[in-house]
């Protein structure tokens, strides 16, 4: 895509090859077709708007997900994503420390772009096409855990 750069210069290597990352999915983002309430629920593209937090599976076991922030995420669903697959599709990871999750656990899913003024590589929020791609990935297999 125009304006994109190689993700290798920005991508955070702390997420290694073969790793799985989790995106937490509240019920609002996991919905049936309103024309057919009995249809299978699907992850909506808007689940990947704004800053898209992901957690490294090996550092954030389900028990931690259920307990952080006073149990706020205990009823959230869990979407498993392959870091390798995401990188192959052009996504990059930006580390964002959140002490609640522990060291090197919390990252943001980004795209690599170029600053219009400095021409330096920089992280950017996902574009609409990338949201569609992520929703496709999310709906290609069952969630690890469905939201309540």
Partner 1 sequence: MRLIFANRAWNMKRSPDSSEEGASGVAKRDGAVDSPPRSANLRYMGRRSIPIRNSNAGSWREHLLSELDKLEQLPAGTDNFSPHRPRSEVLNFARQIADSLKREDLLLPLLAAGSDGSLQIKWQKDSRELSFFISPAGAEFVRVSSSGEIEEGPLREPAQANELIAWMLAAA
Interface positions with partner 1 (CB under 8 A): 1-3, 24, 26, 28-29, 31, 33-36, 39-40, 42, 44-47, 49-53, 73, 76, 89-90, 108, 113, 116, 124-125, 127-129, 131-133, 136, 139-140
CB of 93 to partner 1, least distance (A): 14
What minimum distance in Å lies between the beta carbon of 9 and partner 1?
Answer: 18
Instruction: Name which of 51 and 104 has its Cβ closer to partner 1.
Output: 51
- Alpha carbons within 13 angstroms on the beta-carbon side of residue 129 total 5
Residue 15 Cβ vs partner 1, minimum distance, rounded to whole Å: 18
**Comparison of 15 and 135: residue with beta carbon closer to partner 1:** 135
User: Which residue lies nearer to partner 1 by CB, 13 or 34?
Assistant: 34
Residue 70 backbone class (left: φ over 0; alpha: ψ -120 to 50; beta: rest): left
In whole angstroms, how close is the CB of 2 to partner 1 at the nearest point? 4
Non-local (6+) Cβ contacts of 122 within 8 A are 10, 112, 113, 114, 115
DSSP 3-state of 87: helix
Q: Any idea what DSSP says for residue 7?
A: G
Beta bridge partners of 82: 20
Neighbours of 146 (CB within 10 A): 14
Question: What are phi and psi for residue 110, nearest 5 degrees?
Answer: -135, 175
C-beta of 33 vs 104, nearer to partner 1 = 33
């Amino acid at each position: 895509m125009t304006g994109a750069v190689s993700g290798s210069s920005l991508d955070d290597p702390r997420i290694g090859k073969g790793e799985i990352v989790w995106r937490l999915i509240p019920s609002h983002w996991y919905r049936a077709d309103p024309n057919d309430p009995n249809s299978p629920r699907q992850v909506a593209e808007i689940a990947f708007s704004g800053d898209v937090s992901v957690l490294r599976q090996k550092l954030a076991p389900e028990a931690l997900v259920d307990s952080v922030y006073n149990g706020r995420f205990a009823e959230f669903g869990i979407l498993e994503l392959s870091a390798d697959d995401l990188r192959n599709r052009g996504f990059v990871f930006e580390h964002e420390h959140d002490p609640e999750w522990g060291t090197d656990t919390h990252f943001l899913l980004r795209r690599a772009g170029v600053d219009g003024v400095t021409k330096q590589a920089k992280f950017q929020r996902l574009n609409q096409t990338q949201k569609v791609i992520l929703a496709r990935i999310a709906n290609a297999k069952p969630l690890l855990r469905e939201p309540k």
